[in-house]
């Protein structure tokens, strides 16, 4: 299995609703729920991740 190194999102609360992202594997972005570290992963191509996060940033703008 791939050794993803996950980091918690800076927007996550300290004890709940935490999203973790791993960017350490070439050509792959992995996302998981920190409450379920052995649970399912969402694995994306970096371009898909960039599109997703750009959409989130657009939604936050007034």
Element holding 43 (H helix, E strand): strand 42-44
Burial of 28 (0-12, 13-18, 19+ CB in 10 A): middle
d(CA 9, CA 62) in angstroms, rounded, equals 22
Q: Looking at the predicted structure, is the pLDDT value of residue 1 above 60?
A: no
CA distances from 18 to 10, 21, 33, 45, 62 (A): 9, 10, 6, 21, 25
Q: Which pLDDT score is estimated for 23?
A: 94
Rounded to two decimals, the pTM is: 0.78
Domains of the chain, residue spans? 6-60
Q: Which pLDDT score is estimated for 61?
A: 67
Q: Which pLDDT score is estimated for 19?
A: 86
Q: Give the model confidence (pLDDT) of 8-45 as tens digits.
A: 877 666 666 788 999 999 999 999 988 888 999 999 99
Q: Which pLDDT score is estimated for 37?
A: 87
33 with 21: CB under 8 angstroms? no
């Amino acid at each position: 299995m791939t050794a993803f190194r996950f980091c918690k999102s800076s927007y996550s609360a300290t004890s709940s609703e935490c999203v973790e992202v791993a960017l350490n594997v070439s050509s792959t972005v992995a996302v998981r729920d920190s409450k379920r570290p052995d649970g399912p992963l969402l694995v994306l191509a970096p371009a898909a991740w960039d599109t997703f996060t750009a959409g989130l940033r657009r939604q936050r703008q007034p």
